[in-house]
Structures are given as structure tokens and as C-alpha cells.
Amino acid sequence: MKELLIRGPVSESMMVGKTLREARERGDDPAAAVAKALNAWVLFRGKVSRKEWEDKQGYYWGSHTISGSGEFAGHEFKIWFKNENHISWLDGKPYVTSPDIIQVIQAGTGEPITNPMLSEGEDVAVVGVRKRRAFATKEGVAAVGPAHYGFDIEHRPIEEVVNRGDRKHG
């Protein structure tokens, strides 16, 4: 149990909330502020152009497609979910996957958007966060990585997928 316990989520949540509030008060970009605070990345920005979903076997399954804006204009980002976001593709190529964390937030406020609440036409940012230590093992990846969901995609750690030289924090 000690190995699986994820320590600090309440403190982290409070820190993220404070970061978002302060970013909005200063007129800063909430996604960039949160990415910096979490040592994470803004993976994509754009407008939700398509949402497909179904209620199957007690889970909310589906995908969202986001058409890029700003520095991401002309690109497409797709996320597959089974309740939570698990697989992403950038321009049709596998990108970040679970157990790394893929979070969709409102572009203007930084507020998280759960998959059932996400709507076509919304302006969003996608933030990617490193997996928790408990999942940074072969067993952790097997438990919630792409193969677990039937995808023939190798999980690569987010820090390897996102080239820090090309895609700086925020």
C-alpha cells in the first residue's frame, strides 16, 4: 500500500488553484502558469472541433479532436478517453499516453474540463504532466498504458515525447 499511495494531491491541488487564481488576476496565461508550476507542458491549444462518445460497460468512452490555434494553427490534436484521457495523437501520430497525465482545461480560465462536460466549439488548452511515481514502472505502464486499452502503441515517457528544446514549458 505504501508503494501505491500517491502522496500530496491535496497540497498540489491547492497550489494549482492558487496558481490559476494569481495568473488570472495578473492577466497571465493560466495554462502556461499551471504548466510551469507543475513542471509540465502545454501540449496543444485550439478549439474542440469534434466530440464522439458513448456510454459503454459503465464507462464514458470516446474521443475529442481539437483544431489548433495560435502557435498550433494548422495542426490537429486528438484525445481518446475511457472516463479519463489516455491516448493522444498530434497530427495523426501517437503522442502522449497514460500513465502520463493529459488534462484539458478552458483556455481563458485554466479551469479543468471533464470529458462529459467538454463541448464542440470550446477554446481549450491541453496540459501534459509526468506520471506519478507509482506508475513509473513496467507494471505501472502495463496497468494503465496504451496496451491495457487495446492500442498497439508503445508508451514513451512524456519528457521523451515532448522535445524540451521545441516545446518549452507553457
Here the CATH number for the domain that contains residue 140 is 2.40.390.10
Predicted local confidence at residue 168, as pLDDT: 42
Assess contact for 57 and 116: CB atoms under 8 A.
no
User: What percent of the chain has a predicted confidence (pLDDT) above 90?
Assistant: 74
Q: Would you say residue 42 has pLDDT above 80?
A: yes
Query: 10-21: string of b/e by CB count within 10 Å (b at 16+)?
Result: eeeeeebeebbe
Within-domain flag for 170: no
Domain count along the chain: 1
3-state SS string for 88-112: EEECCEEEEECCCEEEEEECCCCCE
DSSP state of 136: S
pLDDT > 60? residue 105? yes
For residue 108, the enclosing domain spans: 9-151
- Does residue 169 fall inside a structural domain? no
Q: Quick one: CA dihedral 71, 68, 22, 165, positive or negative?
A: negative
How many CB atoms within 10 Å of residue 111? 12
Specify if 133 maps to a domain. Answer: yes
Structural domain includes residue 45 = yes
Which of 170, 88, 161, 101 has its CA nearest to residue 132?
101
